[in-house]
Amino acid sequence: MRNPTAKTTVRSEEYPHDRKAYNRESYDYDIGKFLKKKLGGSKEVKIRFGITGDSGTGKSAFINAMRGLNDDDDGAAKVDVIEATTNPTEYKHPDNPMITFVDLPGIGTPNYPDLPTYCRKVSLENYDRYLIFTSLRFTKYDLELAKKVKSIGKSFFLVRTKIDDAYRAESRKRTFNEKEMLEKIKRYCFENVKDFISSEKDIFLISNYDKERWDFFRLVEAIGDA
Ligand SMILES: Nc1nc2c(ncn2[C@@H]2O[C@H](COP(=O)(O)OP(=O)(O)OP(=O)(O)O)[C@@H](O)[C@H]2O)c(=O)[nH]1
Ligand SMILES: [Mg+2]
């Protein structure tokens, strides 16, 4: 486990919205508990991450990857080539039971065609932190979700999945340069969310099926530090 004291200063700079979010009367948390957790590494505060984004971006596959499960293992979140998650489902972090992930259905399908419907059906405002998942292209739903999360005074990480696919496709080009490709994707993501996040560090480029590469571990660490 990491040293909580060493991380405190950096973390409060990285997530300036946290204090505001946890100080809202409408939530179960109070500022005392929040600071205690930040400063002392107490495990008293439970953090629920809302895992959200367009349908098919790899939200459920990420939860399985985090929990060390294959997509077809018993107890794994349902992953499919068609719309898969139909109801919010909660999963515990494998190393820290105080952190849970709520696997949400994807937005942008006939079942969840717009943000108001989505917010109502999945109780989008009820989570403490968010991971917004995006894959090939940044969409209007990604933007709406980012705006919504910011408007309720909470923070999110933007997770760009399927980097393995991008790598495979792009490496067919004679001019392929992996570093440049990654920088291009990150810049593109940042340009789209720069008004809603504090730093490019809150953007993660991952593959759920190649955890050793790219930003998967950095994301796991950032979640653990939350
Ligand atoms: N290549 C690759 N495929 C992925 C990755 N993550 C997910 N997939 C595939 O993308 C498809 C959708 O994955 P899901 O995890 O079901 O996506 P989801 O966002 O949970 O989808 P909904 O529940 O419908 O919202 C599946 O075929 C997965 O195997 C990834 O990082 N790389
Ligand atoms: Mg799903």
Say if ligand 1 is within 6 A of residue 88 CB. Answer: no
Of the pLDDT bands very low, low, confident and very high (cuts 50, 70, 90), residue 64 is very high
1 part of a folded domain: no
Say if ligand 1 is within 6 A of residue 82 CB. Answer: no
Say if ligand 1 is within 6 A of residue 55 CB. Answer: yes
Of the pLDDT bands very low, low, confident and very high (cuts 50, 70, 90), residue 128 is very high
* Rounded (10°) angle between helices 178-193 and 163-170: 130
Tell me the per-residue pLDDT of 31-58, one tens digit each, with 9 for 90 and over. 334 333 433 344 568 899 999 999 999 9
Average pLDDT in the chain: 83
| Cα 77 to ligand 2 centre (Å) | 7
| Cα 55 to ligand 1 centre (Å) | 8
14 part of a folded domain: no
104 part of a folded domain: yes
- What is the domain extent for residue 203? 46-225
Say if ligand 1 is within 6 A of residue 155 CB. Answer: no
**CATH code, 198:** 3.40.50.300
| Cα 66 to ligand 1 centre (Å) | 14
Q: What is the pTM of this model?
A: 0.83
Query: Once rounded to an integer, what is the mean pLDDT over residues 152-175?
Result: 97
